[in-house]
Structure 1
Amino acid sequence: MVKIGVQQPPAALKPDKEKEKAAGGDGVAGAVLLPPGAEEPGAVAQGRRSSLSGVCYLTMGLLVLLLGLVFASMYVYRYFFITQGYTPAVFAVAVGGCVVALPGLCCTPQLPRESVFHCGVLYEDSLYSPFKGQLELHEDVKIYIEENYEQINVPVPQFGGSDPADIIHDFQRGLTAYHDITLDKCYVIELNTTIVMPPRNLWELLVNVKKGTYLPQTYIIQEEMIATEHVSDMEQLGSFIYRLCSGKETYRLRRRGARRRISRREAGNCHRIRHFENTFVVETVICQKS
């Protein structure tokens, strides 16, 4: 015998049916239930609009910064490079002259704090080279107008007969220092203002030579000096000369009286330094005391 029965619906479904009947009897619930963790569509749209606004503001800020950098670069190029004729590369002049580079753009361009010149000057020396015509002298000149001193570097000459040197003319102390690089010795003497031009005047001279409005003279002047006592207190020479001569044997110099120019044969115990600090070339002959 087979027994057939009808299964009763679970008790959990009865409340749902009752709720459906209470809602109208059409089987449609009165509210929509979302799964856990899901957000409402309105909140999602509002979050997306906030993100897009942040990206737009960031893009506009970067664009304004970029435009500011472009305009600043154009201003610097126009008013410093073009107006003042700034030359970023230093090159040699074929016929006696100087090329100027002005790194001190932080000050007024008309009168920079520091000016660096690379000079090539042609001159004649009948005693050293009577048949070779003109000789050429190269040097680097740094002019410090505010500090009122000049620094000259003379490299190894191509023609020989002269020593490479570093020279400082300190107009505040009224002193000149020669560092003979070959001997690695320093020599100090009172500043000769009849030969050495002040920083402002020398700066104007070299600028005019660069422009081509003036050409230096081709003759050479010789000054003769004798090394005397040893200098032990270096600080009394001032900070500029102290930096140049610190750690080196330093001697004071005394100028010789007027006499004829020293010939090459007579200069057995003498050294020559040729440099350009005026409208002509100067040959400083430093002799050891016999």
Structure 2
Amino acid sequence: MVKITFQPVSAQKPDKEIDGDKIIIPQAHEQLVLPVRPKKPFPTGLCCLTFGLVVFMSGLVLASIYVYRYYFIPQIPEDSLFHCKIFYEDSIYAPLRGRHELEENVGIYLEDNYEQISVPVPHFGGSDPADIIHDFQRGLTAYHDIALDKCYITELNTTLVMPPRSLWELLINVKRGTYLPQTYIVQEEMMVTGRVRNMRQLGPFIHRLCYGKETYRLRRRSQRRRIDRRETKRCHSIRHFENTFVVETVICDRV
């Protein structure tokens, strides 16, 4: 007979878990202490940067205003602005009435080579107030008749109109009293030929004067003749001083 004997197998208990994996739950009588976070420092660097940007932008704005004022806006020296009063004999319409007075303001732009004349309402009548530009660079003259609020463009007549440098010297001498201009009047007759559509071709100075106004082209009459009564009804005149004499520009509309 065979005897089979079973030996008991002893099971080993598993080792305790590592202390690092233990979760310790605080008891009721223990306080939970949280770590104290350090306070953030005041951003002084950001404040300095903001202040510097404000100062820089303020300086940039002031510099832009200075550049725009003194370089983009034309500045006229005081010795280039003149207020003129001229006495002359009207041998055309009133030869027996004695002398007439013509008053105007003249601005001479030597660098840009043009003249601007402003004629207020005359005391004697018979002439319209006007603003006039003689652009020697483009060879054009513009008359803005203030009474009609219309502009008229024609070729510059260098026979009647002095160039800026010569006119400046003349007015300086008149201002000093060393020269008195001749007191007679010269007449030029102009006819309206058509409407001007493209204003930009006239240059910046005339464009600024005539912008938003009805603008017409003029041509000089081929023959010098007296204007009759029928034509006088559709003509108007502008008297101005830009030489050693007074010029009367007579502008007549087409029939």
TM > 0.5: yes
Q: What pairs with 1:6-85 in structure 2 (closer than 5 Å)?
A: none
> Which residue of structure 2 aligns with residue 150 of structure 1?
115
| C-alpha contact 2:89 2:183 (8 A) present in aligned 1 | yes
> Which residue of structure 1 aligns with residue 95 of structure 2?
130
Q: Does 1:219 align with 2:184?
A: yes
Q: Does 1:104 align with 2:107?
A: no
Deviation at 1:126, TM superposition (A): 2.9
Report the secondary structure of 1:172's partner residue. Answer: coil
> Which residue of structure 2 aligns with residue 159 of structure 1?
124
> Which residue of structure 1 aligns with residue 161 of structure 2?
196
CA–CA distance in structure 2, aligned partners of residues 103 and 224 of structure 1: 32
> Which residue of structure 2 aligns with residue 268 of structure 1?
233
> Which residue of structure 2 aligns with residue 140 of structure 1?
105
Deviation at 1:132, TM superposition (A): 1.9
Deviation at 1:104, TM superposition (A): 1.9
Report the secondary structure of 1:206's partner residue. Answer: helix
CA–CA distance in structure 2, aligned partners of residues 126 and 192 of structure 1: 22
> Which residue of structure 2 aligns with residue 236 of structure 1?
201
| C-alpha contact 1:220 1:280 (8 A) present in aligned 2 | yes
Choose 1 or 2 for highest CA Rg. 2
> Which residue of structure 2 aligns with residue 257 of structure 1?
222
| C-alpha contact 1:139 1:153 (8 A) present in aligned 2 | yes
Residues 241-273 of structure 1, C-alpha deviations (whole Å, 9 max, x = no match): 000000000000010013223356641100100
> Which residue of structure 1 aligns with residue 60 of structure 2?
none
Q: Percent identity, please.
A: 72
Residues 67-89 of structure 1, C-alpha deviations (whole Å, 9 max, x = no match): xxxxxxxxxxxxxxxxxxxxxxx
CA–CA distance in structure 2, aligned partners of residues 121 and 286 of structure 1: 22
Deviation at 1:158, TM superposition (A): 0.3
Report the secondary structure of 2:232's partner residue. Answer: coil
Deviation at 1:197, TM superposition (A): 0.4
Report the secondary structure of 1:130's partner residue. Answer: coil
CA–CA distance in structure 2, aligned partners of residues 128 and 265 of structure 1: 16
| C-alpha contact 2:128 2:238 (8 A) present in aligned 1 | yes
Unaligned 5+ runs, structure 2 = 1-74
CA–CA distance in structure 2, aligned partners of residues 138 and 185 of structure 1: 21
Deviation at 1:145, TM superposition (A): 0.2
Deviation at 1:229, TM superposition (A): 1.1
Report the secondary structure of 1:242's partner residue. Answer: helix
After TM superposition, the score normalised by the length of structure 2 is 0.68
Unaligned 5+ runs, structure 1 = 1-101, 106-111
> Which residue of structure 1 aligns with residue 38 of structure 2?
none
| C-alpha contact 2:131 2:146 (8 A) present in aligned 1 | yes
| C-alpha contact 1:180 1:186 (8 A) present in aligned 2 | yes
> Which residue of structure 2 aligns with residue 284 of structure 1?
249
Alignment RMSD (CA, Å): 1.6
Letter in 2 for 1:104: P
> Which residue of structure 1 aligns with residue 134 of structure 2?
169
Deviation at 1:212, TM superposition (A): 1.5
| C-alpha contact 1:127 1:263 (8 A) present in aligned 2 | no
| C-alpha contact 1:168 1:178 (8 A) present in aligned 2 | yes
CA–CA distance in structure 1, aligned partners of residues 109 and 198 of structure 2: 25
| C-alpha contact 2:129 2:146 (8 A) present in aligned 1 | yes
| C-alpha contact 1:225 1:253 (8 A) present in aligned 2 | yes
May I ask how many residue pairs the two structures share in their alignment?
A: 181
Pick closer, same or farther for the CA change 1:222–1:264 going to 2, 3 Å: farther
Pick closer, same or farther for the CA change 1:179–1:249 going to 2, 3 Å: same
| C-alpha contact 1:222 1:261 (8 A) present in aligned 2 | no
> Which residue of structure 1 aligns with residue 85 of structure 2?
120
